[in-house]
Chain A
């Protein structure tokens, strides 16, 4: 039984750790499917974490914090669009600028407003999201197998965890089953054809970026107002890039991107477990090396041991109406 509960808790943490990655990957799908590169997921996630924590601290309600985070992230997405869609600037440079700006700004403002080095005050129970216990979780706990799956794995997560996994079929439906999704994909593949059909390429890309901003805000709020009770310096820790790698590995599809996110989440959950554990034959692996595993995995996945990833055709190119 010890083994079974170990597995259950490993799956439980996998679901929790994958959550921000799933939101970020879905956000990335919208931007990149429309033909706009988005390396700024990292910066936006960090911004959302900061704004959600500060907003919730001052307003006393995590939902208002989330709302402010959404506004902040959509604004950053619009800035990215302004630079790279309207002014046809380099999309990667725009993303790098946003990332560096946000790393600096969040830490600097946290220090200026709260006097601690890049920390926001700890939120109390009213100011943060709490774990959701699914109905009957307690009474079903003792039922074998079903009890473990329902009570130990599925129940007791933060609301964002459920929202993240619900967002995947929703994104799939929007991108592949609606006329909006068809236009979105067409704008990323062949913008001039879409333009000929009388659809505004710029407006489509801005809409895609707006949805991107909303989704990524959830990832940040999850970090600072649910799993943690405050914001701290560079708390996104490369998750935006990890999610982007997962999205590329998943070939810009929500379902396969989800699988890649779960793989990342699992490795991360595993590395936390492995810290300080004596492994047979190898002995204890130094903690610094274990912590590098998700980053190494990202590189390995990107190197693509399952075929080359084909990006949307027009990605990274600003659309110029008349050549």
Chain B
């Protein structure tokens, strides 16, 4: 098939129709998996929709997951604009959580809003620091970040378990977790807000970190598309040689992109520590870092795309837990597989039907224009 002139393709075809077709294909394949596992895919979809929208707490859970996926999705996207595959969001979030906790517990004498602000800075600094070493090695030695960031995930997991068991464990308790932060430092939850308006709802982990996720999205949009640095970074990602000729240092941009990426992943620790657990629990990143990859690829690495993609994964996670509750043959790992399928269709196989769809719409618009 002859490729169509890219400039003639309307934006909504390449950024809306094509991703939706890819998503539909991914969901069809996922339905097949659910069928292989011995359950009814149609019933699973019904449970997913009920679980994520059917009642207020369920919807709050959906938005809570969305918050995490916005952070990790943005993290992957920022690095991706510099053509770096930061699949170490998991480890960076873990270490970022350590930053949140250490700041909050050591500065508890300060007024609460200042502690929150410092904790957020702590999350960003710790997450960025954990991304720095792979970034530095990529920039100076060409060590591929895919391998080094994966290794740093393993190393972070070992380090955190070591800290939680031997160093900062709450010795009064059995489990590998720290002491709880003082109650006044806890982020106000959605339940608290509803209570202000006299609405009584049951517990959900949704908290004001959701607003931080919105702020982070705006920040990334501004940074990547509206600043000189964002331009330089995209130039390095697009064509390193051309960037060098233009006097842009790939070395500097690789390191900055990875550190911002790591910092964004670290923000997941804010939601989990200040908003939900109020202490460090072993393994709290729980795969959100990996899901960020799927979210970013589906959202075409733009905050405007990442937000709905994160919401979709929120639906999948929250609805998915409803499914695992009602369908004994389905475990949460089924939804990890679904993520893989979505990455495959919206990332690697995104060109599968793109030429056909684009030429179809371009031809139709041509006919309309000439008529």
| Residues in A lying within 8 Å of B, measured CB to CB | 39, 79, 82-84, 87-94, 96-105, 107-109, 111-113, 117-118, 233, 238, 241, 244-245, 248, 286, 288-289, 291-292, 295-296, 298-299, 302-304, 308-309
Contacts and interface: CB of A to CB of B under 8 A. Distances in A.
A81 to B, nearest CB: 11
A105 B154 contact: no
Contacts of B166: 286
A103 B155 contact: no
B231 interface: no
Given A98-B344, A244-B147, A299 B333 contact: no
B93 interface: no
Q: Which 5 A-B pairs have the closest CB atoms?
A: A101-B340, A104-B336, A104-B337, A94-B348, A292-B158
Interface of B: 33, 36-38, 85, 87, 133-134, 137, 141-144, 146-148, 150-152, 154-155, 158-159, 161-162, 165-166, 290, 293-294, 297, 329-331, 333-341, 343-344, 347-352
B348 A104 contact: no
A299 B162 contact: no
Contacts, number: 164
B344 A92 contact: no
Given A92-B85, A241-B151, A100 B349 contact: no
A295 B154 contact: yes
B290 A107 contact: no
B189 to A, nearest CB: 30
B38 A112 contact: yes
Contacts of A87: 348-349, 351-352
Contacts of B87: 96
A105 B33 contact: yes
A172 B158 CA distance: 37
Contact of A100 (B143, B159, B290, B330): B290
Given A108-B33, A108-B337, A109-B36, A101 B147 contact: no
B36 to A, nearest CB: 7
Contacts of A118: 331, 333
Q: State the majority secondary structure of interface residues on B.
A: helix
A84 B348 contact: yes
Given A93-B343, A118-B331, A286-B165, 18 more contacts: A39-B146, A87-B349, A87-B352, A89-B348, A91-B348, A92-B85, A94-B348, A96-B343, A99-B340, A104-B333, A111-B331, A288-B158, A295-B154, A299-B137, A302-B147, A302-B148, A304-B142, A309-B142
A248 B138 CA distance: 14
Contacts of B37: 108-109, 112-113
A303 B137 contact: yes
11 contacts: A96-B293, A96-B347, A100-B339, A101-B340, A101-B344, A108-B37, A108-B333, A238-B154, A286-B162, A302-B137, A303-B143
Contacts of A289: 158-159, 162
Contacts of A292: 154-155, 158-159
Given A100-B293, A292-B154, A89 B349 contact: yes
Contact of B347 (A90, A111, A296): A90
Given A93-B297, A94-B348, A103 B333 contact: yes
